[in-house]
């Protein structure tokens, strides 16, 4: 039976490349079809881990930047949604080809690499993007008529011998030259396994599961379709649950640590993303089993997503309860994941609970307030 591919090449325009940018599908296709040349997703563990690392990085960086820009400049007005003033400024400039050039122009290597990738995948690349190019003209004309009108408005529980090196991000230790050599993106977590260095938490979890034979198979089952489902939920996590939870905590509590003002508007938007994500977790991802994607035992996806939700401990008890309490399955799944990884779970989150105490002591009472307010 022929493989069916569901993709919307028309609306919104940015999704014309859906088939190229869905990581879980790409990995599945590379593994499931023997005809796929090895270079697309090499069998070598280290090469694979580096590919996972850049794919994960992509979600919160390149994709967030370019999809955010095209959403706020093109898609939001098409969908009748408000977009943001800051990004709209960019959009006005993006209406011309010269301004598209302004963004990409300085990056010669990037431009060359785009050309090389196009050539390596010709003629399919242009075929897949045909609809995008067709809609480009219409969209630019449409945007011109709209301008002015649119108000822009692990630790794994598997006995792996490891050394933990604390990088205190509250003290900006991620910017030290020593750490830059480990992760040039200046973020935690990262690992070094001998000379092999890796960043991005999902890529790290996959690497650890594959590189250490002692890791129980339920964390990252070898079955291709189970793996593909785990990749799928991990990919979903980046742009949904993480965006909501991390955005909420950052904009209500942590921004001042970075020298930025608290942003109640951004916090409100993040909270909406978080609520939508919790609802998807409750009604979709957890619908078939105790753990994610219908599993009876936890996988690396449960670890990653439950840890994401743990940062909500930093909010006031009242806000945390208001946000999480409607999601009974989610709460049970968090408890189940904690129990399945005890005593490591609490040990790993000890720093968080310590920070929680200090932060809560400084919080004003939230009672009676319908929305989260700045708390520092
Ligand atoms: N997508 C990355 C996100 C990494 C990330 O956002 N790390 C935060 C801590 S949770 C960090 O290092 N923040 C410090 C900074 O950005 O300066 C991953 O999953 O590893």
CATH number at residue 283: 1.20.1050.10
Mean pLDDT over residues 85-98, rounded? 55
Q: Is 236 a domain residue?
A: yes
Q: Which two tokens stand for residue 302?
A: 């449960």
Q: Whose CA is nearest to atom 10 of ligand 1?
A: 188
Residue 162 has a pLDDT of 85
Comparing 196 with 370, the larger pLDDT belongs to 196
Average pLDDT over residues 178-205: 95
Q: Is residue 163 part of a domain?
A: no
The two structure tokens encoding residue 62: 């390149």
* Number of domains the chain contains: 3
188 CA to middle of ligand 1, Å? 5
Q: Give the pLDDT mean for 78-82.
A: 67
Boundary (domain end) residue, out of 115, 146, 177: 146
64: its two tokens: 């967030």
pLDDT confidence of residue 151? 33
Determine, yes or no, domain membership for 151. Answer: no
SS3 (DSSP) at 162: coil
- Return the structure tokens found at 139: 């969209």
Domain residues for 107? 13-146
Residues 69 and 45 in one domain: yes
Distance set, CA 369 to CA 265, 272, 276, 363 (Å):
15, 16, 21, 13
Query: Is residue 331 over pLDDT 50?
Result: yes
Place of tokens 């916090």: 267
Q: Is residue 204 part of a domain?
A: yes
Please identify, by atom number, the ligand 1 atom nearest to the C-alpha of residue 202.
19
Band of residue 14 on the pLDDT scale cut at 50, 70, 90: very low
Residues 231 and 205 in one domain: no
> In this model, does residue 228 exceed pLDDT 70?
yes
* Largest distance between two CA atoms of the chain: 62
Mean pLDDT of 254-266: 91
**205 and 280 housed in the same domain:** no
Residue-averaged pLDDT of the chain: 83
Give the separation between CA 217 and CA 210, rounded to whole angstroms: 9
| Mean pLDDT lowest among 44-53, 124-133, 213-222, 334-343 | 124-133
Tell me whether residue 5 is in a domain: no
Q: Tokens 């020298």 appear where?
A: 259
Per the domain annotation, does 160 fall within a domain?
A: no
Q: How confident is the model at residue 107 (pLDDT cuts 50, 70, 90)?
A: very high
Residue 292 has pLDDT above 50, yes or no: yes
* pLDDT, position 330: 98
Going 346 to 250 to 312 to 238, the CA torsion angle's sign is negative
Contact (Cβ atoms closer than 8 angstroms) between residue 160 and residue 212: yes
Same domain, yes or no, for 110 and 202?
no
Same domain for 233 and 182? no
pLDDT of residue 280: 98
Entry pTM: 0.80
Chain centre distance of CA 269: 16
Mutate to test the pocket of ligand 1, among 63, 186, 187 (most ligand atoms within 8 A of CB): 187
Q: So what's the pLDDT on residue 153?
A: 32
Dump strand ranges (E) for 157-217.
190-193, 196-199
User: Measured between alpha carbons, how far is 267 from 372 in angstroms, rounded to an integer?
Assistant: 7
Mean pLDDT of 108-131: 87
Do 87 and 183 have their domain in common?
A: no
Atom of ligand 1 nearest to the CA of 56: 1
3-state secondary structure of 261: coil
Residues 77 and 195 in one domain: no
Last residue of a domain, one of 146, 180, 202: 146
* Secondary structure class of 295 (helix, strand, coil): strand
Q: Is-contact 268 372, C-beta < 8 A? A: yes
The answer to whether the Cα torsion of 241, 54, 28, 6 is positive or negative is positive
Distance of alpha carbon 268 from the chain centroid:
19
Q: Whose CA is nearest to atom 11 of ligand 1?
A: 187
Regarding whether 107 and 199 lie in a shared domain, the answer is no
Residues 280 and 248 in one domain: yes
Q: Is the pLDDT of residue 101 over 90?
A: no
Do 57 and 76 share a structural domain? yes
Distance from C-alpha of 328 to C-alpha of 279, rounded to nearest angstrom: 10
Residues 286 and 310 in one domain: yes
Q: What is the pLDDT of residue 370?
A: 35
14-18, 155-159, 218-222 — most confident range: 218-222
Residues in Cβ contact with 87 at an 8 Å cutoff, skipping those fewer than 6 apart: 68, 69, 72, 73, 152
Question: What pLDDT, on the 0 to 100 scale, is given for residue 248?
Answer: 97
pLDDT digits (tens, 9 = 90+) for 138-189: 666 655 554 433 333 344 456 788 888 989 888 889 999 999 999 999 999 9
Which pLDDT value is given to residue 68? 74
Lowest mean pLDDT among 127-131, 142-146, 258-262, 353-357: 142-146
Q: Which of 188, 249, 348 to mutate to test the pocket of ligand 1 (most atoms within 8 A of CB)?
A: 188
302 in a structural domain: yes
DSSP designation for 267: H
Is 253 in contact with 359 (CB distance < 8 Å)?
A: yes
Q: Are residues 241 and 197 in the same domain?
A: no
């Amino acid at each position: 039976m022929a493989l069916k591919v569901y993709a919307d090449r028309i609306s919104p325009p940015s999704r014309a490349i859906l088939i190229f940018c869905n990581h879980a599908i790409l990995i599945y296709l590379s593994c499931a079809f023997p005809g796929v040349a090895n270079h697309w997703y090499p069998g070598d563990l280290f090469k694979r881990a580096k590919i996972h690392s850049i794919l994960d990085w992509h979600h919160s960086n390149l994709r967030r930047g370019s999809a955010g820009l095209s959403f706020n400049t093109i898609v939001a007005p098409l969908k009748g949604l408000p977009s943001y003033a800051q990004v709209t400024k960019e959009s006005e400039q993006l209406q011309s080809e010269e301004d598209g050039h302004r963004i990409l122009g300085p990056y010669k290597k990037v431009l060359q690499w785009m050309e090389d990738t196009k050539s390596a995948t010709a003629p399919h690349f242009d075929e897949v993007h045909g609809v995008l190019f067709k809609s480009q003209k219409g969209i630019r004309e449409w945007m011109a008529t709209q301008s002015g009108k649119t108000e822009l408005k692990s630790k794994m529980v598997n006995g792996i011998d490891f050394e933990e090196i604390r990088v205190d991000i509250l003290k900006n230790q991620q910017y030290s030259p020593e750490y830059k050599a480990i992760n040039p993106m200046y973020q935690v977590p990262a690992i070094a396994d001998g000379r092999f260095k890796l960043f991005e938490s999902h890529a790290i979890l996959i690497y650890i599961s594959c590189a250490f034979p002692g890791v129980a198979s339920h964390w990252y089952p070898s079955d291709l379709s189970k793996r593909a489902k785990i990749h799928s939920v991990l990919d979903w996590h980046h742009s949904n649950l993480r965006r909501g939870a991390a955005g909420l905590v950052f904009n209500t509590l942590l921004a001042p640590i970075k020298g930025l003002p608290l942003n109640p508007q951004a916090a409100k938007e993040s909270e909406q993303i978080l609520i939508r994500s919790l609802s998807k977790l409750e009604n979709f991802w957890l619908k078939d089993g105790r753990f994610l994607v219908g599993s009876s035992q936890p996988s690396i996806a449960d670890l990653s997503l439950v840890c994401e939700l743990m940062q909500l401990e930093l909010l006031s008890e009242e806000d945390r309860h208001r946000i999480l309490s409607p999601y009974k399955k989610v709460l049970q799944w968090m408890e189940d994941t904690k129990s399945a990884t005890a005593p490591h779970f609490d040990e790993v989150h000890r720093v968080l609970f310590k920070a929680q105490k200090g932060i809560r002591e400084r919080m004003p009472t939230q009672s009676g307030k319908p929305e989260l307010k700045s708390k520092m």
